[in-house]
Every structure is written in C-alpha cells, then in structure tokens.
Amino acid sequence: MGYANAAFDLLKRSAIPPYPQFYELLYTYATGVNPSLNNRINAVFRSGVSPSTDLAEALYNEFLRSDLNERMSSVSERMHARIESVHDAIDAAMTTANAYSGSLQSATGDLERDLGGDAMRELASRLLFETRRMQDTNRELERKLEASRDDISALQRDLDDVRRESMLDPLTKIANRKSFDDGLADAIEEARQSGVPLCLMLVDIDHFKSFNDSYGHQTGDQVLRLVAMTLKSNIKGKDLAARYGGEEFVAILPSTDLKGAMIVAENIRKAIQAKELLKRSTNEKLGRITASFGVAGFKPSDNASSLIERADQCMYAAKRAGRNRVVSEDELIEITEMPAADVSAA
C-alpha cells in the first residue's frame, strides 16, 4: 500500500493520467527495483522539466512494455513487404528483358534483309527506345535492391535485438531456461573437444516459499532480482548465469575446474548472505537471504542431463546439511551419509 500511495501521489503531482501503464511505471519507480528507470526519472525531476503524458509513455515503452511478439510480427511484416517489392521489381525486369530480347531477335532478322534508309532509321529508333526502357527498368531494380539492402540491414539489427530479448528471463533480466539449455550444450561440446574443464553450479534460495507467503509476491520478485543480479555480477568472461526455474538459478562455468568453481560459489553465497532486506515503506527489516549451492564438474561420459542431475544432487545435499552452504560432488558421499533433515520448506 505504501508503494501504491506513492505511485498515486506522483501521478497527481505530475498531472499524468492514472492509466494502468502509468500507474505501473510509477509503482515500479516507488519500489526501486529497476535502478535504470529510477535514474532516468530522477534526472527528469532534477531537470525541472514538467512530466508529460508523452514522456511517461516513452519511459513505459522503454523500460516496462513487453512487446516481443509485436516486434516479431512487425519485423516479419516488414521483411515480407520488402521481399514482395524485390520480387515485383525482378518480375518487371525479367518481363522487360524478355521483350528486349525479342526486339533484338526481330532486329537481327530485319538486318539480314536489305533495308532502305527510312527502314534502317526506324529500326534504330525502335532499338534505342527498347534499350532506354531496359535501362530505366534496370535502374529501378537497382534502386529497389539498394533500398532492400538498407532495410535488410535494419531488419537484421531488429531481429538480433528480438533474439537477445527472447533469451532473457523477463523478471530477472538474466538468461532464461532456453538460453541456458543452448549455452550448456555448446559448453559441453567445447569441453568434450578441447578437454578444458567445465563446471555447473545450481543455486536454490533457502525458504523462498515461506518468505514469499509472509511478505508477498512483490517482495519475492525483488528477492529473485537481487539474487540474479548478485549471481551475474560475480561471474565473468564466458560464464553464463541463468534462471533455471522458480527460485532456482544456474551458472555455467567454462574453463573452470571444481576447486575454482567452489571458490566462485562460496563468494556468491557470501555476497547473497551479506544483503539485508528492508521494506522501503515501513523500514521494516525482513532479514537476510541465504541460498544453497551444488557444484558438479563435467566428465567425458556426461551429457547435459547427467551433469545437471549431479549438480542438483549436490544442491539438495547442501539443503540436508543445513542450507546456506556449498556442496561439490566430491563432498556428496560424505554429506549424504549424514542424517537427513527436513527440506520440505526449501
């Protein structure tokens, strides 16, 4: 309610219509979950420029609107229109070329006969006309092909943007499950061919369901974003952080052995634990987040499923051992021999 009241107050003070998208924009600003959006809006406030409906619409479209399907449809329509235009130009050029070829054949037959001066001039005039028409058609085709080249370059950029967006999790803005599946397949293939080490890290937020039930899904979403940001900021190079599903995250660590992967996982565990949650509206302290980690190394006999399965077993071993810890497959046998604790509220 504190965020809602703040959003409505900003709508009133800015004289922006309380349309749903503008409420969402300022509600998101009030929560502070999108730093880029907040920086932009704060800059507007500092500039002294009066907010307008157009400005609010532009900010909403830039930061919040999920228009992936619309953009895909737009790119498809533009591509179709451009291809049709090129086809029409090619058809016209072929028709003109066929007519020109026919005229040349006819002229060849005429030239084989004795022609008088008037007939020769008429033939030359006709060939000149057909040649100029052919030149005009070719120029038109060149113009359309040139325009198509520019359009196709722009379409390629749009398609690249859409593809990148389609590979991101919309909530956390890190790689989604599809991107992870593709990345893991590539990493396994590279490790198999080159012999370099490869590790997989699986991360699960401890007691997330209880946290979500106690403080609401909005706060739960902020926790997911926080963990995703922490995970992504603590890996580098060719490493890939992704949301695996629900409150589970995963990181692919190419060229990293098990010892190195354990160090990375421990650093991330400490970074997550160091962050204390605060409810902005009431300054109520909600406690700290912790997460359990499982780390497995690639073996020549592995495929994606077996590698994920071992990392998953390690992660659940960390849960059974008391949560908020990192377990590697080297430790798995030792951990699983300990008495199992209840992990139903994981």
DSSP assignment of 104-151 = HHHHHHHHTS---HHHHHHHHHHHHHHHHHHHHHHHHHHHHHHHHHHH
Distances (CA, A) of 175 to 49, 169, 202, 251: 36, 6, 14, 10
Among all chains, which residue has been given the structure tokens 């949560």?
Answer: 323
Quick one: 342 exposed, middle or buried, by C-beta within 10 A (0-12, 13-18, 19+)?
exposed
Contact 151, 78 (CB under 8 A): yes
Pairing verdict, β 291-297 and 326-328:
parallel
Q: Which two tokens stand for residue 264?
A: 């990375």
Contact 272, 290 (CB under 8 A): yes
Write down the catalytic residue from 130, 247, 329, 331. 247
Contact 20, 57 (CB under 8 A): no
What's the rounded Cα separation, in Å, for the pair 298 and 192?
A: 9
Contact 29, 7 (CB under 8 A): yes
Q: Which two tokens stand for residue 159?
A: 């398609």
Query: What sign for the dihedral angle of Cα 189, 192, 195, 196?
Result: positive
Catalytic status, residue 190: no
Largest CA distance in the chain: 113
Q: Which two tokens stand for residue 195?
A: 């012999």
Which of 344, 346, 312 has the alpha carbon at shortest distance from 329? 312
Q: Which residues are catalytic?
A: 247
